[in-house]
Structure 1
Amino acid sequence: MTGPIQLNERIVLYDIIRGFALCGIFLVNIPSMLGSDWIFGKPMYEGSDLVVRTLFDLFIQTKFYTIFSLLFGIGFSIFLERSYARGDSASRYVRRIVILFLFGLAHLAIWSGDILHTYAMWGLLLPLFYGLSNRAILTWAWSLLIGSFLLFYGSSVLMEWTTGYFNPGYPFPTAYNAGFGAWFDYRLDVEIFSAISNSLLVGIEIFCLFLFGLYIGRERKLLTWTLQGLTRTAIICSVLALPFFGVILWHRYGGGDYYWTNLAAVLISGKLLATTYVCLFTVAVRKGLTFRPLQALGRMALTNYLTHTLVVVLPVIALGYYGRLSLTEGLFLSIAILIAQTFFSMWWLKSHRYGPFEKLWRIGTYGIQKKVS
């Protein structure tokens, strides 16, 4: 199959890419969940941990939240299109966003890396852009992407090279190994408010990715773009990422301590490689590959994403084990959990149309649907 894919196959394509993105997001998140890569610190990596950290920076870091955000924009473009076609008011969309925000707040109470509340906060703006022309949407998206990069990264890189400025890091949160009471007090006093405030800043980049997704979903780009065009784009983005890979390798192995320069290289290569991943998976699916394990993970992405925190963070805090596993050990643990989630998702979907949290989200959005006999 090399032509535009049909409606049922289109949904499968998005599920596959979402499942793939979920795997990458968990690999990125688990170091901070375990404390093996203290998110605000500057750990010194050695041996296998150095290899793992480098591979993360090259192929995983920033690549997968980019894909997830694009898919969010695509998904909500479909939701808005169907809602407007039915003549629904904006209240249903707002209700869907509010429920997502509540999921995010509950998740944020446990772990500061939650992205759902950020998606909800910025997702409220999407209907304001839905009626714009494609050109206007892309203009906004590119302007926000370039502007946010220059504001948050370009200025820091410039300062780093001119004044020697770098990120000194913050002390390890010992309260994480002092029981649930001390841990939660620390989160209330320090982390939760900071995470919400940070969402107002990092959300600018997230929102520009929503807009790209809105454009892709509205134009059915992944579904109608030629295989030659997809393949060519994947090759070009991969080649353009190579110089930034060089910066990352130089930072890790060349002896230079250029924290913000490395972050900028990771961010730019992330956008390029995310595009490569999406294009390659689209080509593969349109050629007939099914990726059933990724389909299952993607169909239950919300459930699996939230479950990551429940099965990792809470046991780590309960056992006082935060910061005691290496980056390499965290990698193998995350792979084992993803394999278990894959089998569970495939089993669950044999008798259910939606995952548990997806079902709750759907009921909150549409209400309980009566079966027609």
Structure 2
Amino acid sequence: MDTATKPMTTVRQRIESIDIIRAIAVMAILLVNVGAYYATASPGHRPAPETSAVDTVASRLVDLLVLDKFHFIFAFLFGVSAAIQYENMTRRGNFWAPYLRRMGILLAFGLVNLTLLHAPDVLTVYALNGAVLALFFRAPQRVLLVVGLVVGLGADVASTGVALADHYAGAGIGQVSWLATGVVVQSFGHTMLGCWALRAGLLTAERHVPAIRKLFAVTGIATIALWVWTLSLSDTNLMHALEENLAIVPAVAYLSGLVLLLRSARLRAVLLPLQRYGRMALTSYLTHAILGLVVVGTLASFWTIPTALLLLLCVPIWAVQLVFSHFWLVHFAYGPFEWLWRAGTYWTRPAWRVR
């Protein structure tokens, strides 16, 4: 094999892996958002009830395994994509205008999703984060890492400390307002960490695989310890604080584990439908709200849906989106919302069909 071809092939495989991981993150976020869709559509805007032990277990599993974990991964991968866009636009000789248009269009998508569909939305936050992130693209990698860790973990560490002090020392200080504000902006830190990871070659360079293995081992052990600790607690306030504030630990374990697993060409081939789903992540995320409110909203207007059944309704939504993304990308170069996003970014009319 040509020596110039092998590194390019490796990088392409890593980008395919990023698409698959992004697809998994978007799908997992539906498990959290579907409860909000139900509350929006149900009479009295009530949450899905827990009518049996199965419902209770299902709800606990979502909190333990999913809540906030995949929001970190989604934000992290947004930072990866932003760094890729910076490199591509810089090679074209023009960065600021198309990049800011790109973030402006994303903000518009998010506001429409938020106001018209009354759906949970992260796109508005990512658009604002992405605009601020542009100021750091030329910063040294060390700055990206330090700022990302401080902003991304500062509020979580402080909130965890407050929760532990309340539980074990009876401090009675509760959650203070600036900590809540910190939680809102922490996704900027997660986005910056994604930008740093791509700049450092962490996701594309073969030499970093041993470091990723060590990271997976450490965070995997820490995740198991965290789960055991959380499940042993009777204090629900502390339990939820640990699940939310320390979500980055299992999130990094998931992310590093998936990066290692997807080094297998055979596994990537099996997960090709997810790769196409991930290429249409914007379309998939926005149609979550549409399908979620239509399917869940229609059923909620006639019946009270318990938690476990509500989570099962995610399966047909995923199936429809997987089939749609497969057949769409067989014929078209971009997802429908991705095409609009690209057209507005570069102020051109991109090729519509696959050549």
TM-score w.r.t. the length of structure 2 is: 0.84
Superposed CA deviations along residues 228-261 of structure 1, whole A, max 9, x for unmatched, are 332332121111112321233134xxxx2332x2
Whether the 8 Å contact between 1:35 and 1:324 is mirrored in structure 2 is: no
Superposed CA deviations along residues 346-367 of structure 1, whole A, max 9, x for unmatched, are 1111001111111111111112
Q: Which residue number corresponds to residue 257 of structure 1?
A: 235
- Residue 20 of structure 1, aligned match among 13, 19, 24: 24
Whether the 8 Å contact between 2:49 and 2:306 is mirrored in structure 1 is: no
In the superposition, relative to structure 1, how do residues 128 and 322 fare at CA in structure 2: closer, same or farther (>3 Å)? farther
2:114 maps to 1:136: no
- The amino acid that maps onto 1:240 is A
Q: Which residue number corresponds to residue 193 of structure 1?
A: none
- Residue 192 of structure 2, aligned match among 193, 211, 216: 211
Q: Which residue number corresponds to residue 305 of structure 2?
A: 325
For 1:6, what is the secondary structure of its paired residue?
helix
- Residue 223 of structure 2, aligned match among 241, 244, 252: 241
Whether the 8 Å contact between 1:238 and 1:276 is mirrored in structure 2 is: yes
Q: Which residue number corresponds to residue 3 of structure 2?
A: none
- Structure 2 counterparts to residues 343-354 of structure 1, below 5 A: 343-354=323-334
- Residue 229 of structure 1, aligned match among 192, 211, 227: 211
Whether the 8 Å contact between 2:37 and 2:119 is mirrored in structure 1 is: no
In the superposition, relative to structure 1, how do residues 154 and 314 fare at CA in structure 2: closer, same or farther (>3 Å)? farther
Whether the 8 Å contact between 1:63 and 1:273 is mirrored in structure 2 is: yes
2:125 maps to 1:121: no
How far apart are 1:211 and its partner, in Å? 0.8
How far apart are 1:133 and its partner, in Å? 1.0
In the superposition, relative to structure 1, how do residues 148 and 39 fare at CA in structure 2: closer, same or farther (>3 Å)? farther
Q: Distance in 1 between matches of 2:13 and 2:154?
A: 36
Which protein has greater RCO, CA pairs closer than 8 Å, 6+ apart? 1
How far apart are 1:369 and its partner, in Å? 3.5
Whether the 8 Å contact between 2:11 and 2:204 is mirrored in structure 1 is: no
For 1:223, what is the secondary structure of its paired residue?
coil
- Structure 2 counterparts to residues 255-334 of structure 1, below 5 A: 256-259=234-237, 261-288=238-265, 289-290=267-268, 291-314=271-294, 316-317=296-297, 321=301, 324-334=304-314
Superposed CA deviations along residues 143-187 of structure 1, whole A, max 9, x for unmatched, are 1123211454543553455266889xxxxxxxxxxxxxxxxxxxx
Q: Which residue number corresponds to residue 33 of structure 1?
A: 37
Which stretch shifts more, 157-166 or 355-364?
157-166
Which stretch shifts more, 127-136 or 225-234?
225-234
For 2:67, what is the secondary structure of its paired residue?
coil
Uncovered stretches (5+) of structure 1, i.e. residues with no partner: 168-197
For 2:203, what is the secondary structure of its paired residue?
helix
How high is the sequence identity, in percent, across the aligned residues? 29
In the superposition, relative to structure 1, how do residues 114 and 347 fare at CA in structure 2: closer, same or farther (>3 Å)? same
Whether the 8 Å contact between 2:55 and 2:306 is mirrored in structure 1 is: yes
How far apart are 1:114 and its partner, in Å? 0.5
Superposed CA deviations along residues 71-122 of structure 1, whole A, max 9, x for unmatched, are 0000001111222232214121110000000000000012341110111122
Q: Which residue number corresponds to residue 78 of structure 1?
A: 84
In the superposition, relative to structure 1, how do residues 39 and 86 fare at CA in structure 2: closer, same or farther (>3 Å)? farther
Q: Distance in 1 between matches of 2:49 and 2:171?
A: 22
In the superposition, relative to structure 1, how do residues 246 and 322 fare at CA in structure 2: closer, same or farther (>3 Å)? farther
Whether the 8 Å contact between 1:77 and 1:214 is mirrored in structure 2 is: yes
How far apart are 1:45 and its partner, in Å? 6.9
Aligned residues: 335
- The amino acid that maps onto 2:142 is R
